[in-house]
Structure 1
Amino acid sequence: MTNHIGFIGHAERVPMSWSSLPPAVWVLVVARAVNRLGAFTLPFLAVVLTVELGATVSQAGLILTGFGLATIPSRLFGGHLADRIGRKWTIVAGLGGCAVAQLWIAASPGLWSAIPAVVLLGLAFEIYEPPSQAIIADVTGPADRPAAYGLLGAAMAVAAVAAGLLAAWLGQWDLRWLFVVDAATCLACAVLVGLALPGARRAQLNRAARAWRDRKLLLMLGVGTVFAVLYMEVLFGLPLTMLDEGVPASGVGIVLAVSALTQIAGQPLLRRLVLDDFQVMTVGYVLLAVGLLATGFAGSLSAFVVAAVVWSLGDLLLLGRALTIVSGLAPEHARGRYLATYGLSWGFATAVAPLAGSWLIEGVGSFGLWAICGLAAGGLAAVQPLLRCRLRKPD
């Protein structure tokens, strides 16, 4: 297989500004932000299953496990469809499926009806991710992709902050209305994409382009899975650590809001860097390592906030660059499948991080958890030069 990797590791020119990005990127960013504004239902799903529909805690756990398992084939299916029927209509289909599942959950008269709806939601939940990422790669050059992925990340972060406020307001009433609003945002996003996004030509599915046989992609998947586990450990372990240090639960929300705002405010940094992708990722992993180690030493809300600023800047540098590298590895007709395969790192991390985090907290304490995570991030920084050489080597 011949990969399109000639540009990997090079900073060919200064990336364009957001205002110069193609219209298709802006349509996608607006649509995804609208969708993210309503994506506040998952934290409430267990509450609806137990309080509204009478499930026991163990039953709710099993149902949510089913949801999580269903998201793994969902992403692969999205990548396959993106390369088969086109990016645009795959996004529309995925969002439509999410809307149907959300409305089904909201209207369920009992647990027996909600279970297949939750599984359907999992099967549709990740379909739109690979085509969304592939569209950005389709309409931008290698030097411009970090800015485009950064814009998408910033829009999602802003919408996430607004989504939390909207969820707090809607949560005063019947929680099922959260799912109705989420379904409405999915449909609004689907309509916007269907009407405003240019139609892409249907790709011919090249069976020779099999992502699972590309060793370079698998190498990125391995590294990306370690990063995803570290990212998910923050979401899982940070609240436990802060509560253990006597910081009130409201402090967790403050730290997560600061993290989102840091990623928004730091976006201009992405457009000023002229380092190559792997140099940027080395800096990102160093910042992540410092932030995670600082979390282990933190004992007050202000200290956790400072640590969050540091690791959030690391996340900012890492997320878009990894997608840029993977989209460069992929043949043009197989970008959806490549990005879907790489995206499995988040599915693996979602399954591994809670188990590993709880085991480490019980075994070595909160400080031990963050020390190990910091060392792992430092190790990822150290291997970036080797990864760069390996990915640039011809097959």
Structure 2
Amino acid sequence: MPRTVRLLLLARVVNRLGAFSLPFLTALICADHGASLTTAGLVTAAFGLATIPSRLAGGRLADRIGRRTTIVLGLCACAVAQTAIAASRSLGWAIAGAVLLGLAFELYEPPSQAIIGESVPPHQRVRAFSLFSAALAVGGMGAGLLAALLGRVDLRWLFVVDAASCLACALVIRLALPRDHPTGPLGAGAEAAEEAGATGGAAARVRPLRDRALLSILATGTAYALINQQTVMSLPLAFAREGRPAADAGLLFTAAAATTVLAQPLVRLPRISRLSTPTALALAHLLLAAGLVGYALLRSLPALLAAAAVWSLGDLLVMGRAYALVTDLAPAGGTGRYLAVFGTSWGVAATLAPVLGTQLLAHAGTTALWSTTAALCVLLAGLHLRVTPQVQPGGVAPRHTSERAPRAAAAQSG
């Protein structure tokens, strides 16, 4: 991997080491502010809703003011919001902190993903994004253990340590990454061409919301993100409902993170790397379903840890393939904006997951919650085989290849 990518992965490990507070936001609101499950779910949903404009702003700011600057800005704003939540003495202040956190939370993602996608050749993108997932997991292993430890003392300490990790990551990014040189499709020349009505320039081609292939990936990606966020946000509450310490969810998060790191060689196995993207994503969702069935049926901690490991195998396959696919679909100069639009799936999921999860837990129980999400995984496995674009691993989508060639020829002849 290029030096820039390796430094970015290192910074993300630092950040992830403290990024364990969000799954406990609902539990904090219930425990410290006396809120009901429904109210806590709505507060977490407000956070998720705020991440949608945050993600889109991250893609735009990355081209306007530079990727390094956008990443540092987002991390510092996250630290301020985390501190506000930890210091809140009323439900109103906690809500304000949660919304501010949502507005800052996704600024980091589009520029960092664009750096990775554009710094490696196409045939290495699946591996690069898998390593990005592994970097999160490396930090997540320590994060889960810290969550299990600090959560027993006071849930507020989770947010204090998370704020400190954001500032440390911002410092690493500021010192290690090269200086910004914004040259994306939102530069002055591209804007002038777009205002003049030009259709052949880079800005005119970067229209992610008109790309049917991207929209189909966005739909399935939103469903996956909903399942992922449901698992992360509901697990502490599900443990508490079953009479377990909510902080024990950190042990399952640690097991999942360890599996993601140790299973990295699987991504490079010929039998896996040769799979088409639809087939790989279908297989991933079947593994996710198996892990969730384990959550629904198993009760002992060792069995639940095994289920978390199975779940993480599916998660590993999804993350590497999905982001590589979006990067391959993006036209020249449009990687950041394509990844930003695709990333709004996490904001939608973060909005819906706490509301749906708390309602299912309150009215149907933990078994119904995990069984429903497992059934959705099986449905998504079938959908991927039908609607996901056929892109060979590390290759460019055939759809864009066929569309770009006539445009390039016309541009040259003009």
Coarse TM-score class (shorter-chain normalised): 0.7 to 0.9
Deviation of the 1:193 alpha carbon: 0.7
Distance in 2 between the 1:132 and 1:391 partners? 22
CA deviation profile, 1:265-305 (whole Å, cap 9, x unmatched): 10011133431551433432343344445555546555544
- Is the 2:222–2:349 Cα contact (8 Å) retained in structure 1? yes
Task: Give yes or no for the alignment of 1:189 onto 2:195.
Answer: no
- Mark the runs of 5 or more structure 2 residues left unpaired by the alignment: 191-202, 404-414
CA deviation profile, 1:144-175 (whole Å, cap 9, x unmatched): 12222122211211212212332344456665
Which of the numbers 106, 114, 117 marks the counterpart of 2:97?
A: 117
- Mark the runs of 5 or more structure 1 residues left unpaired by the alignment: 1-20
More deviation, 297-306/218-227: 297-306
Task: Give yes or no for the alignment of 1:266 onto 2:260.
Answer: no
RMSD: 3.5
Match in the other structure for 2:386: 383
Give the secondary-structure state (helix, strand or coil) at the position aligned to 2:123: coil
Match in the other structure for 2:328: 328
- Is the 1:83–1:334 Cα contact (8 Å) retained in structure 2? no
Give the secondary-structure state (helix, strand or coil) at the position aligned to 1:333: coil
Distance in 1 between the 2:368 and 2:256 partners? 24
CA deviation profile, 1:311-348 (whole Å, cap 9, x unmatched): 32121111111000101111242211111110111222
Q: 2:49 corresponds to which letter in structure 1?
A: L
Q: 1:379 corresponds to which letter in structure 2?
A: G
Q: 1:392 corresponds to which letter in structure 2?
A: P
- Is the 2:285–2:378 Cα contact (8 Å) retained in structure 1? no
Which of the numbers 60, 71, 79 marks the counterpart of 1:91?
A: 71
Deviation of the 1:49 alpha carbon: 5.2
Which of the numbers 11, 19, 43 marks the counterpart of 1:31?
A: 11
Change over 3 Å in CA distance of 1:86–1:350 after alignment to 2: same
Deviation of the 1:253 alpha carbon: 4.6
Match in the other structure for 2:274: 275
Distance in 2 between the 1:110 and 1:241 partners? 25
Matches within 5 A, 1:197-346: 197-203=177-183, 204-205=185-186, 206=190, 207-208=203-204, 209-235=206-232, 252-273=249-270, 274-278=273-277, 279-293=279-293, 298=298, 300-346=300-346
Change over 3 Å in CA distance of 1:294–1:158 after alignment to 2: same
Distance in 2 between the 1:317 and 1:168 partners? 27
Match in the other structure for 2:138: 158
Deviation of the 1:92 alpha carbon: 0.8
More deviation, 83-92/345-354: 345-354
More deviation, 321-330/264-273: 264-273
Change over 3 Å in CA distance of 1:276–1:199 after alignment to 2: farther
Change over 3 Å in CA distance of 1:280–1:235 after alignment to 2: same
Distance in 2 between the 1:319 and 1:216 partners? 18
Change over 3 Å in CA distance of 1:214–1:237 after alignment to 2: same
Question: What TM-score, normalized to structure 1?
Answer: 0.80
Match in the other structure for 1:13: none
**Aligned residue-pair number:** 374
- Is the 2:81–2:98 Cα contact (8 Å) retained in structure 1? yes
Deviation of the 1:137 alpha carbon: 0.8
- Is the 2:142–2:254 Cα contact (8 Å) retained in structure 1? no
Match in the other structure for 2:196: none
Give the secondary-structure state (helix, strand or coil) at the position aligned to 2:178: coil
Distance in 1 between the 2:247 and 2:286 partners? 29
Change over 3 Å in CA distance of 1:122–1:144 after alignment to 2: same
- Is the 1:286–1:381 Cα contact (8 Å) retained in structure 2? no
Match in the other structure for 1:9: none
Change over 3 Å in CA distance of 1:294–1:170 after alignment to 2: closer
Distance in 2 between the 1:308 and 1:177 partners? 25
- Is the 1:283–1:314 Cα contact (8 Å) retained in structure 2? yes
Change over 3 Å in CA distance of 1:259–1:140 after alignment to 2: same
- Is the 1:216–1:391 Cα contact (8 Å) retained in structure 2? no
Deviation of the 1:94 alpha carbon: 0.6
- Is the 1:211–1:337 Cα contact (8 Å) retained in structure 2? yes
- Is the 2:141–2:253 Cα contact (8 Å) retained in structure 1? no
Distance in 1 between the 2:49 and 2:286 partners? 32
Q: 2:176 corresponds to which letter in structure 1?
A: A
Match in the other structure for 1:362: 364
- Is the 1:281–1:384 Cα contact (8 Å) retained in structure 2? no
Change over 3 Å in CA distance of 1:238–1:73 after alignment to 2: same
Change over 3 Å in CA distance of 1:171–1:25 after alignment to 2: same
Change over 3 Å in CA distance of 1:301–1:88 after alignment to 2: same
CA deviation profile, 1:70-122 (whole Å, cap 9, x unmatched): 11111111111112222111101111111222334445565555543332221
Distance in 1 between the 2:86 and 2:248 partners? 31
Task: Give yes or no for the alignment of 1:131 onto 2:137.
Answer: no
Distance in 1 between the 2:47 and 2:254 partners? 27
- Is the 2:144–2:251 Cα contact (8 Å) retained in structure 1? no
